[in-house]
Amino acid sequence: MLNMEAPRPTEGFFARELGALLAPDRIRVGAAAARAYECDAYTVDRAEPWAIALPESTEEVAVLVRWCVRHGVPFTPRGAGTGLSGGAMAARGGIIVSTKRMTQILEVDLPNRRILAQAGIANKRLSDAVAAAGLHFAPDPSSQTVSTLGGNIAENSGGPHTLKYGVTAQHILGLTLVDPTGEVVHLGGDATGGPGLDFVGLVVGAEGTLGIVTEAWVKLTPLPEAVHTLLASFAEIDQATASVAEIVGSGILPAALEMMDEGIMRAVSQAFRLSYPEGARALLLIECDGAPEASAKEAAEAERICRAHRALAVEIAEDEAARQRLWIARKKGIGAMGRLAPSIVTHDGVIPRSKLPEMLRFVYEVAEQHRLLVANIFHAGDGNLHPCFGFDDRDPEQIRQVVEAGEKILRKCVELGGSLSGEHGVGVEKSELMSLMFSPDDLCLQADAKRIFNEGDLCNPCKVFPSQKGCIEHRARWRGVAW
Amino acid sequence: MNAELSELASHCIRCGFCLESCPTFLVTGEETESPRGRIYLARGSLEGRLDWRQAAPHLDACLGCRGCETACPSGVQYGQIVELAREEIAARRAAPGLRLLLGMLTRPGVLRRLGALGRRLPGARMPRILGLLFSNEPPVAGLPVAQWSGMLPPLDETLLMPITGQAFILDGCAMGSLFPRVQEASARLLRRVGLAPKRLASGCCGALHAHSGYVAQGAAMARRVLARLPENDVLVATAAGCGSWLKEQAHGKRRVLDLSELLHENGLGEALKKAPGYWAVATYHDACHLAHAQGIRSQPRELITAIPGLTLLPMPESDLCCGSGGISNLTHPSQAVALQTRKLENAQATGASLLIQGNPGCHLWLAPAAKARGLTVLHTAEALEAAFIGLEWFCDGAKQTAEAERT
Ligand SMILES: Cc1cc2nc3c(=O)[nH]c(=O)nc-3n(C[C@H](O)[C@H](O)[C@H](O)COP(=O)(O)OP(=O)(O)OC[C@H]3O[C@@H](n4cnc5c(N)ncnc54)[C@H](O)[C@@H]3O)c2cc1C
Ligand code: SF4
Ligand code: SF4
């Protein structure tokens, strides 16, 4: 049995052993593969895996995990690798278990509005498969065209429509999990909220530390009959936040309520040649849906509120093409930052809505201190802020600046009575900052809970909880790669 | 260090939004076979963290379809990245096989002879040695089969609109020699919108060379072709790959258009409404170098939809590469077959019997396998001209066989 301190086994060993266990084409080793899998969309920390496995079924995943446990080799699940907190990084080396060859829809059950799929399927493909029946899978992270069902479950992802439809957790009926010992367990069933301990709820949001999800039954939601979308621009951020407060206070439940700042407008107008009113410093995207009259009425009320708060302009989508155009700033804003800077890091914190103007001022100050390009997207409905920094990751000094700036931002979120993570997870990015939010006792309790299910910490090690044995030394190594 | 490549590659923010648009990622599920992975490997090699030779197989497997560019929110110019990366690789490795193949496939004369041979030997495969040069797999691509080149019925000039201008049709390497019927149909369509069709017998435009890493050579070939085009005249491409490459190389100094663009612009849609048309259920495959490289999606669809009697059904993943990808079906056979199957399954699922597309690479690669599934592959030009003279001139019908036997 290999232990953590044992020398890393050779590539040949993995290729031979695992190739024989599954099939040779399921295993990849070598310098190119290791490099390609060294990080996800969070590029500040990187660690190369020893081998990559691409199993095709629950059974193959189980065989693989049992082998890892027997040999003391760490393993890390990975979907599309769009995670923003380093969750899919092989923190202690070992094996990356990719779900990208598990992409099948296994059963479509329209009468009961549910669908069974393998974990590696891209979120959007679930909705595409049932669009003709007027249904969809409601969680809509901006990454939904590529991020996987398994990744969404692990991060409990949300999206602009979370405000009304809820996060991923509310849409998972049951799942098949290969637990950290390699056992296959079926959790939940065909309906949410059965009696007993909510194991499904425990696994959703566990960032892949409680096992590898291989299949899930997900709930399908009817597509809204009507959708009304408007985009308001404001000269002051405070006017936009005041509008948000009044909209929410008035009892309207918009399907989406999203704010973008100047930085986003700048990136988007350069990338897509869109123009926004002169002097605009905040954009507010509001979408109402539901029965046609009700949704139209809500939209009209939202418009009135924005105008009352001196909106510079309120644009209303007349058709689907116009709606898509209004959504561009929200959907492509972060990506468009990539045109202005070689690399970006997107942060994810939660603050009380009323503190947004203060928080944004702080973000701008920090960006200036560290000489970083910055843009902000804010899920105004639930107070989730995404400051996004642009920098050049070929320059070690700039990476250092970005890391420092990020920590300041997150500390400030907690200081303002908010939280470290809205929807991108803790991963390796923020594991050390958990102590800002939880007392040592709380942390120990949570870590204990994890340990009960994940003995030996082989399953996605060093994630979420700080200072697990050995992780501190490893941390120096990941950062070292980037610096 | 290659500063241009470093700069281009640095714009990838690793968001992964391109993954589901990448055919090679879809069939393998592997990060190394994805746009993001390839850019990362190129960057790693450039920065000395990896050996170019280790990155090479992954860059080689790229189809050059540029589906990733369409999907990328960050505006990464992947096409240029892969060309530059392949140049770095080509400078470090002798690839006599690839050069030989390129030389063969881009000479009209050689192609014509191969094409004639292909017609005579049913089920003929590309010479085995070609396949073995690149992969350890036996070749799966058929020898190119040249189209029957008999005459279409004469055009009645009196019924046509007066001539108001002219346009040059690019014969290039493949179109002129393997697809005479497409070229003929294109010429007739130009005439139908009042443009006198001219032919530019130019030889190969170098697109395949450039996409394989011989950028300088490809550019020189493109310059030769463009130099033959009289100034102020329009060059019309019937091959998507050539059109996109020549557009890039013309740097705005010469006007290069895809056939569907020019016809759309000049009102073929109106003319089609008065054509007899034909009954057919069709679907449309977006050639990568039309949809991703040139952004041409709506023009061919609108023209095809204007054909009286024809129903055009949308196809899932219509802009996913069919696997032909330049010469990828020779260099990476099993990947190519997986994508070919995926494409044809998508086409079949629509219920269509015609699969219309605008590129010779896709045409050659899809047609034989499509036939086995009861699907007929047509070039957009053929489908459109058929609206005026009848579909039977373009399908493997009695008319052709009779004509062919007569000649
Ligand atoms: C531009 C951009 C925009 C984004 N927008 C949003 C947004 O609006 N909302 C949002 O919530 N997120 C967003 N994200 C973050 C990210 O897309 C989500 O966290 C997504 O759910 C990750 O899915 P993935 O398949 O890429 O997972 P990965 O990144 O591969 O993995 C993420 C985590 O899940 C674990 N994991 C993956 N698969 C499994 C499995 N089968 N079983 C157990 N654990 C598993 C991994 O170990 C890792 O810890 C965005 C990311 C980017 C790059
Ligand atoms: S979509 Fe663009 S920026 Fe994102 S990973 Fe792909 S190439 Fe890079
Ligand atoms: S060009 Fe096509 S095959 Fe190559 S990386 Fe882009 S999407 Fe994939």
Last residue of a domain, one of A222, A257, A284: A222
Mean of all residue pLDDT scores within chain B: 85
Q: Does A143 touch chain B (CB under 8 A)?
A: yes
* Residues B382, B394: Cα–Cα separation, whole Å: 7
Tokens read off for B273: 């409404």
Q: What percent of chain B has pLDDT over 70?
A: 83
Same domain for A419 and A362: yes
Residue B131 reports pLDDT greater than 50: no
- The band of A353, judged by pLDDT with boundaries at 50, 70 and 90, is confident
Q: What is the DSSP letter of B31?
A: G
Number of domains in chain A: 5
- Comparing A336 with A302, the larger pLDDT belongs to A302
Under 8 Å between Cβ of A140 and A69: no
Under 8 Å between Cβ of B258 and B296: yes
Closest residue to A98, CB basis, from B29, B58, B71:
B29
Q: Does A65 touch chain B (CB under 8 A)?
A: no
pLDDT of residue B212: 73
- Ligand 2 centroid distance, CA of B36 (Å): 6
Mean of all residue pLDDT scores within chain A: 88
Under 8 Å between Cβ of A355 and A238: no
Rounded to a whole number of angstroms, the distance from the CA of A121 to the nearest CA of chain B is 10
> Across the interface, do B29 and A32 touch by the CB < 8 Å criterion?
no
- The band of B132, judged by pLDDT with boundaries at 50, 70 and 90, is very low
Residue B67 reports pLDDT greater than 80: yes
Same domain for A199 and A293: no
Residue A101 reports pLDDT greater than 60: yes
Same domain for A194 and A262: no
- List of chain B residues whose C-beta atoms are within 8 Å of the C-beta of residue A342: 10-11
- The band of A5, judged by pLDDT with boundaries at 50, 70 and 90, is very low
Under 8 Å between Cβ of A224 and A295: yes
**Is A203 inside any structural domain?**
yes
- Ligand 2 centroid distance, CA of B12 (Å): 5
Query: Helix, strand, coil % (nearest 5) of chain B?
Result: 55, 10, 35
Instruction: State how far the alpha carbon of A27 is from the alpha carbons of A18, A415, B239, in Å.
Output: 7, 46, 39
- Comparing B327 with A294, the larger pLDDT belongs to A294
Under 8 Å between Cβ of A58 and B33: no
Same domain for A208 and A170: yes
pLDDT of residue A190: 56
Residue of B1, B14, B77 to mutate when probing chain A, most A C-beta within 10 A: B14
Interface contacts (A, B; CB < 8 Å): 112
Closest residue to A81, CB basis, from B16, B58, B72:
B16
Tokens read off for A31: 């310098």
- Which residue's structure tokens are 């809205």? A422
Residue B402 reports pLDDT greater than 50: no
> Across the interface, do A35 and B40 touch by the CB < 8 Å criterion?
yes
- The band of A472, judged by pLDDT with boundaries at 50, 70 and 90, is low
pLDDT of residue B108: 61
Q: Would you state the torsion angle of the CA atoms of residues B79, B84, B85, B88, taken in this order, to the nearest 10 degrees?
A: 160
Atom of ligand 1 at shortest range from CA of A120: 41
Mean pLDDT of B293-299: 95
- List of chain A residues whose C-beta atoms are within 8 Å of the C-beta of residue B10: 342-343, 392-394
- List of chain A residues whose C-beta atoms are within 8 Å of the C-beta of residue B17: 82, 143, 145-146, 335
Domain carrying residue A124: 105-222
* pLDDT tens for each residue of A432-458: 777 777 777 777 777 777 777 776 789
Same domain for A234 and A205: no
- Max CA-CA distance within chain B? 69
- The band of A322, judged by pLDDT with boundaries at 50, 70 and 90, is very high
Residue B331 reports pLDDT greater than 50: yes
Residues in chain A: 483
* Residues B206, B216: Cα–Cα separation, whole Å: 9
Instruction: With both helix axes pointing from N to C terminus, report the angle between B35-46 and B78-92 in degrees, rounded to the nearest 10.
Output: 50
**Is A456 inside any structural domain?**
yes
- Asked if residue B150 has its Cβ within 6 Å of ligand 2, the reply is no
Same domain for A168 and A236: no
Q: What percent of chain A has pLDDT over 70?
A: 92
Report residue B277 CA to chain centroid gap. Answer: 26
Residue B186 reports pLDDT greater than 90: yes
Q: B125: which strand partners?
A: B142
Closest residue to B29, CB basis, from A54, A147, A394:
A54
Same domain for A346 and A325: no
Under 8 Å between Cβ of A143 and A80: yes
* Residues A159, A256: Cα–Cα separation, whole Å: 9
Can you give the CATH number for the domain in which A174 is found? 3.30.465.10
- Asked if residue A143 has its Cβ within 6 Å of ligand 1, the reply is yes
- List of chain A residues whose C-beta atoms are within 8 Å of the C-beta of residue B13: 41, 335, 337-338, 343-344
Same domain for A409 and A394: yes
Q: A178: which strand partners?
A: A184, A212
Q: Among B10, B15, B19, B20, say which to mutate for ligand 2: greatest number of ligand atoms within 8 Å of CB.
A: B15
Q: A76: which strand partners?
A: A96
Q: Among B10, B12, B19, B77, say which to mutate for ligand 2: greatest number of ligand atoms within 8 Å of CB.
A: B12
- The band of A290, judged by pLDDT with boundaries at 50, 70 and 90, is very high
Atom of ligand 3 at shortest range from CA of B63: 3
- Give contacts of A 251-290 with B, CB under 8 A: 271
Last residue of a domain, one of A301, A318, A336: A336
- The band of A423, judged by pLDDT with boundaries at 50, 70 and 90, is confident
- Which residues 6+ apart lie within 8 Å of A345 measured at CB? A42, A43, A44, A84, A388, A389, A391, A402, A406
Rounded to a whole number of angstroms, the distance from the CA of B4 to the nearest CA of chain A is 13
- The band of A194, judged by pLDDT with boundaries at 50, 70 and 90, is low
Interface of chain B against chain A, CB under 8 Å? 6, 10-20, 25, 29-32, 36-37, 40-41, 44, 47, 49-51, 54-55, 57-58, 71-76, 316
- The band of A341, judged by pLDDT with boundaries at 50, 70 and 90, is confident
> Across the interface, do A32 and B6 touch by the CB < 8 Å criterion?
no
**Is A6 inside any structural domain?**
no
**Backbone CA torsion sign across A268, A271, A275, A278:** positive
* Residues B31, A148: Cα–Cα separation, whole Å: 14
Whole-model pTM: value is: 0.88
- Comparing A99 with A466, the larger pLDDT belongs to A99
- Which residue's structure tokens are 């963290």? B49
Mean pLDDT of A85-112: 95
Closest residue to B15, CB basis, from A39, A125, A335:
A335
Same domain for A459 and A419: no
**Is A3 inside any structural domain?**
no
Which ligand is closest in space to the CA of residue B10?
2
Residue B385 reports pLDDT greater than 90: yes
- The band of A94, judged by pLDDT with boundaries at 50, 70 and 90, is very high
Q: What is the DSSP letter of B284?
A: E
Same domain for A130 and A79: no
Instruction: State how far the alpha carbon of A206 is from the alpha carbons of A218, A442, B383, in Å.
Output: 18, 16, 55
Of A7-11, A148-152, B111-115, B307-311, least confident by mean pLDDT is: B111-115
Closest residue to B73, CB basis, from A101, A124, A336:
A336
Residue B145 in 3-state DSSP? coil
Amino acid at B172: G
pLDDT of residue B163: 92
- Ligand 1 centroid distance, CA of A53 (Å): 19
Can you give the CATH number for the domain in which A402 is found? 3.30.70.2740
What are phi and psi for residue A82, nearest 5 degrees?
A: -100, 5
Same domain for A320 and A260: yes
**Is A156 inside any structural domain?**
yes
- Give buried/exposed letters for B246-269 (b at 16+ CB in 10 A, else e): bbbbbeeebbbbbbbbbbbebebb
> Across the interface, do A146 and B17 touch by the CB < 8 Å criterion?
yes
Residue A130 reports pLDDT greater than 50: yes
- List of chain A residues whose C-beta atoms are within 8 Å of the C-beta of residue B350: none
- Which residue's structure tokens are 């949704």? A295
- Which residue's structure tokens are 């007349």? A318
Residue B124 reports pLDDT greater than 80: no
Under 8 Å between Cβ of A103 and A172: no
**Is A2 inside any structural domain?**
no
Residue A196 reports pLDDT greater than 80: no
Q: Does A394 touch chain B (CB under 8 A)?
A: yes
* Residues B182, B236: Cα–Cα separation, whole Å: 13
- Give buried/exposed letters for B148-162 (b at 16+ CB in 10 A, else e): eebebeeeeeeeeee
**Is A1 inside any structural domain?**
no
pLDDT of residue A115: 97
- The band of A10, judged by pLDDT with boundaries at 50, 70 and 90, is confident
Which of B93, B85, B89 has its CA nearest to residue B42? B85
CA atoms within 13 A on the CB side of A352: 7
Which of A62, A64, A43, A51 has its CA nearest to residue A93? A51
pLDDT of residue A448: 73
Residue A470 reports pLDDT greater than 50: yes
Closest residue to A36, CB basis, from B11, B20, B40:
B40
Question: Which range, B123-132, B327-336, B387-396, is most confident?
Answer: B387-396
**Is A448 inside any structural domain?**
yes
* Residues A186, A150: Cα–Cα separation, whole Å: 15
pLDDT of residue A7: 59
Q: What is the 3-state secondary structure (H, E, C) of chain A?
A: CCCCCCCCCCHHHHHHHHHHHCCHHHEECCHHHHHHCCCCCCCCCCCCCCEEECCCCHHHHHHHHHHHHHHCCCEEEECCCCCCCCCCCCECECEEEECCCCCCEEEEECCCCEEEEECCCEHHHHHHHHHHHCEECCCCCCCCCCCEHHHHHHHCCCCCCHHHHCCHHHHEEEEEEECCCCCEEEEECCCCCCCCCCHHHHHCCCCCCCCEEEEEEEECEECCCEEEEEEEEECCHHHHHHHHHHHHHCCCCCCEEEEEEHHHHHHHHHHHCCCCCCCCCEEEEEEEEECHHHHHHHHHHHHHHHHHCCCCEEEECCCHHHHHHHHHHHHHHHHHHHHHCCEEEECCEECCHHHHHHHHHHHHHHHHHCCCEEEEEEECCCCEEEEEEEECCCCHHHHHHHHHHHHHHHHHHHHCCCECCCCCCCCCCCHHHHHHHCCHHHHHHHHHHHHHHCHHHCECCCCCCCCCCCHHHHHHHHHHHHC
pLDDT of residue A235: 95
Atom of ligand 2 at shortest range from CA of B11: 3
Residue B184 reports pLDDT greater than 80: yes
Same domain for A218 and A119: yes
Q: Among B17, B59, B321, say which to mutate for ligand 3: greatest number of ligand atoms within 8 Å of CB.
A: B321
- Comparing A47 with A274, the larger pLDDT belongs to A47
Residue B25 in 3-state DSSP? helix
pLDDT of residue A44: 83
pLDDT of residue B343: 97
* pLDDT tens for each residue of B367-384: 999 999 999 999 999 999
pLDDT of residue B166: 94
Last residue of a domain, one of A98, A129, A161: A98
Q: Does A98 touch chain B (CB under 8 A)?
A: yes
pLDDT of residue A313: 94
